[in-house]
Amino acid sequence: MINQLIDTAIHQLKYSYTPYSNFKVGAALLAKNGQVYTGCNIENASFSATNCAERTAFFKAVYDGCYDFAAIAVVGGPAGKPVQAQDEPSGPCGVCRQVMAEFCDPDEFLVIHGKTPEDYKQFTLREMLPEGGFPAANKGFFAKPQA
């Protein structure tokens, strides 16, 4: 399952729009209903308007009415290749971790940093964002659409 998710994330690298950094990132977000939402990073000349691969996947899912997530696989690296074996995989940025905290249970949601489908590290969201504010853990009050 994790291997397949990483493989899907690797396939997203080709959609990544990175004229400024050429650092390409792909993501595959697994919803609890089994649906997979994909994402890539989309850069912008203003730099700060850049959207990371993780947030692209989350925002596609939420637009689709999906709010319950199990795991996300992230791959990336310079020149469009996933990081190489000797490198540390790059983890999601702080903004993306906060977006995950909006929707995901910190002790259940898995963040997978992949190099290859077989070579990866996995963390819970709480490990990625210790002492964070977790609206989704608050009985889903913030994380569900309000009727």
Q: Does 114 bind ligand THU (CB under 6 A)?
A: no
Judged by beta carbon, residue 52 or residue 83, the one nearer ligand THU is: 52
* Exposure b/e, 34-57, CB count within 10 A at least 16 = b: eebbbbbbbbeeeeeebbbbbbbb
Specify whether 54 is catalytic: yes
In the complex, minimum distance from the CB of residue 6 to ligand THU, in angstroms, rounded to a whole number: 14
Between 7 and 33, CB nearer to ligand THU:
7
Site for ligand THU in 32-51 (CB under 6 A): 41, 43, 50
Residue 64 DSSP class: T
Q: Are the beta carbons of 67 and 145 closer than 8 angstroms?
A: yes
Nearer to ligand THU, 50 or 124 (CB): 50
Residue with tokens 């691969």: 53
Q: What share of the chain is helix, strand, coil (3-state, %, to 5)?
A: 30, 25, 45
Which tokens sit at 38? 């994909």
Kindly list the distances between the CA atom of residue 25 and the CA atoms of 39, 89, 135, 144, in Å, as whole numbers in the listed order: 8, 11, 26, 28
Nearer to ligand THU, 51 or 142 (CB): 51
As given in the structure block, the two tokens for residue 59 are 């925002």
Give the one residue of 15, 23, 59, 142 binding ligand THU; rule: CB under 6 A: 23
Binding characters for ligand THU, 72-111, by CB under 6 A (x = yes):
--x---------------x-xx--x---------------
Length of the chain: 147
Using the rule CB under 6 A, is 59 a contact of ligand THU?
no
Residues at the site binding ligand THU, with contacts judged by CB under 6 A? 18, 21, 23, 25, 41, 43, 50, 52-54, 74, 90, 92-93, 96
Residues carrying an active site annotation: 54
